Chain A
């Protein structure tokens, strides 16, 4: 069983906090190059299909230190997006016809300009998602009104809950996280989130608490709905099943638990060309806290910037981004295994 530390890899000066070390380890696994797999499926180079989703990472600061976090987020991370960079995001969004803005972190709510930014986005008529870790709602009095704030701005809330039991949830996300998450979910339900007919969407995210692939999303959603209703009278809309990608803290866990090789083979064996065709990076861009642009949040954490002119919001070029090829590497096997994985769950 994994032990939860309370420090990020960066704060521990762990060698896997270095991007180069992560990429080196991925290369050393001696697996078929991901781009060759794509080529076999006639998908290389991986082209984009549009620019529909802006995923914005508002910073690495978080109130939790989850064992699998690909951001290496935590209370000791101070990198957060400034209001100036948020303005650059707003300007860039105005130059596109994107439908969705997806806010993530860390805990995006900890950014002091979070509410200002959400209000600006909300006034643009875009669908705005907030990836809320739930516990932030009960972490401090100043966050207790977040459900009302979300409701007022018609935010779609997406929240991680690895399982409907405390054992598996706390093993991944920290002691006491499950109970706090249940309290937060009840608060969201109370203002209408996840309730039938309210129009307020509350989706949950499952990801495995260990070195295995996620179950079938539909079957798991039925289980979650039944158990959360029976045990806690909690309601939600959809469950997204997401695969853990072998980077950052999950990579560290895989290595430390001697599961790295087996997990990588599992991902490669489960390569699914249909999932590969549906990967989210084809219609998404990911913005870092400092304004740099990436194909996805995982590439962001590996500092693999987009292969297009204008790698920073200051030089934003929507046309160049729409016509770019996606940067791929060995970690991409995580999004193409089995039923596929994206921030919106299965893709195949």
Chain B
């Protein structure tokens, strides 16, 4: 069955350079550097990536960073806490707009 998302396409990510080698290479070089050990550990960065993957709901990224966090020694509790961080920020982003709604409501009300 054909679907928009094919898990095997994740392995082909590097092939985006075929259509535009220079920008593709620059991107992957940058990407590699971003995830290196720095002021944040490689594990912290991987957990951030997992949270972002859920926030942007990218199935490829969710697969990739579930594996990556496991291979960096994280357990299921840590992975789920990262997902809750994403959920909290997404939920909070909706709710904080409630202030705008309240402002408008009050502006129009007697």
Residues of A whose CB lies within 8 Å of any CB of B are 163, 165, 167-168, 208, 210, 212-216, 219-220, 223
| Count of chain B residues with a beta carbon within 8 Å of a chain A beta carbon | 11
- Residue in B67, B73, B77 whose CB lies within 8 Å of A220: B73
Q: Are B71 and A168 closer than 8 Å at their CB atoms?
A: no
Contacts of B94 in A (CB 8 A): none
- CB <8 Å contact, A212 and B75: no
Interface string of B23-56 (1 = CB under 8 A from A): 0000000000000000001110000000000000
B-side contacts of A210, CB under 8 Å: 70
Q: CB distance B75 to A165 under 8 Å? A: yes
Question: Across chains A and B, which 9 residue pairs bring their CB atoms closest together, nearest first?
Answer: A215-B73, A220-B73, A212-B70, A215-B72, A213-B71, A212-B71, A215-B71, A212-B67, A223-B73
Question: In the complex, what distance in Å separates the CA atom of A214 from the CA atom of B70?
Answer: 8
Chain A: which residue is nearest B68 at the CB level? A212
Shortest Cβ distance from residue B88 to the other chain A in the assembled complex, whole angstroms: 24
Residues of the A chain whose Cβ atoms lie less than 8 Å from the Cβ of B76: 167
Give bound CA distance, A214 to B74, whole Å: 11
The answer to whether A168 and B75 touch (CB under 8 A), given A219-B41, A219-B43, is yes
B contact face: mostly helix, strand, loop, or mixed: helix
CB distance from B10 to the nearest CB of A (A): 11
Q: How far is the CA of A223 from the CA of B44 in the complex (A)?
A: 13
Please name 28 pairs of A and B residues whose Cβ atoms are closer than 8 Å in the assembled complex, sorted by A: A163-B75, A165-B75, A165-B77, A167-B75, A167-B76, A168-B75, A208-B70, A208-B71, A210-B70, A212-B67, A212-B70, A212-B71, A213-B71, A214-B71, A215-B43, A215-B71, A215-B72, A215-B73, A216-B42, A216-B72, A216-B73, A219-B41, A219-B42, A219-B43, A219-B72, A219-B73, A220-B73, A223-B73
Over the window 70-103 of chain B, the binary record of Cβ atoms lying under 8 Å from chain A Cβ atoms (1 yes, 0 no) is: 1111011100000000000000000000000000
B binding-site residues for A, Cβ under 8 Å: 41-43, 67, 70-73, 75-77
Q: Which of B41, B42, B70, B73 has the most CB of A within 10 A?
A: B73
Q: How far is the CA of A165 from the CA of B73 in the complex (A)?
A: 12
A165→B77 CA distance, assembly (Å): 10
Interface centre among A168, A215, A223 (most CB of B within 10 A): A215
B22 to chain A, nearest CB (A): 25
| Residue ID in chain B nearest A213 by CB atoms | B71
Residues of A within 8 A of B73 (CB): 215-216, 219-220, 223
Q: Which residues of B contact A216 (CB under 8 A)?
A: 42, 72-73
Q: What's the Cα separation between A208 and B72 when bound, in Å?
A: 10
